[in-house]
Structure 1
Amino acid sequence: MVSARGGRYGFVYRTRQDVYRALRRQGMTKSKAARISNAGRTFPQRSAMARKAAKTRQMRGRKRR
């Protein structure tokens, strides 16, 4: 189980632990995976991040696959 203990044991919200595990499987470090999975805890926050990412990709000229 991912730590929900905090402090030196790290912390990932319980509702986001599946995301954390998926990022870890992709080879991310614990701290980076925790930072990404904890960001956007609510659905509107995640939607805002997705819009920002799409805008960034568009500005850099990447095509959507």
Structure 2
Amino acid sequence: MVSDRGGRYGYVVRSRQGVYRALRRQGASKSKAARISNAGRTFPQRSLMGRKAAKTRQARGRRR
């Protein structure tokens, strides 16, 4: 179980713990996985990040 206690136990929002586990399975460090999974706590925040990513890809000429 991923901690949502905070402090020295770390912190991952409960609704995003599945994302955290998926990132850990892919080899991300604990801190990096927590940072990414905590970034989009709510659906509007994730939507905003998606729009920003799309604009970034478009500005860079859709490089892959």
Superposition pairs of residues 30-41 of structure 1, within 5 angstroms: 30-41=30-41
Residue in 1 that maps onto 2:54: 54
Specify the SS of the correspondent of 1:41: coil
Specify the SS of the correspondent of 1:11: coil
Superposition pairs of residues 5-24 of structure 1, within 5 angstroms: 5-24=5-24
Give the total of aligned pairs: 64
Which consecutive unaligned segments of at least 5 residues does structure 1 have? none
Q: Aligned partners of 2:18, 2:5: CA distance in 1, in Å?
A: 16
Identical amino acids, percent of aligned pairs: 83
Q: Aligned partners of 1:26, 1:62: CA distance in 2, in Å?
A: 24
Specify the SS of the correspondent of 1:21: helix
Q: Aligned partners of 2:18, 2:52: CA distance in 1, in Å?
A: 23
Q: Could you state the TM-score of these two structures normalised by the residue count of structure 1?
A: 0.89
Which consecutive unaligned segments of at least 5 residues does structure 2 have? none
- List 4+ stretches of structure 1 deviating above 3 A: none
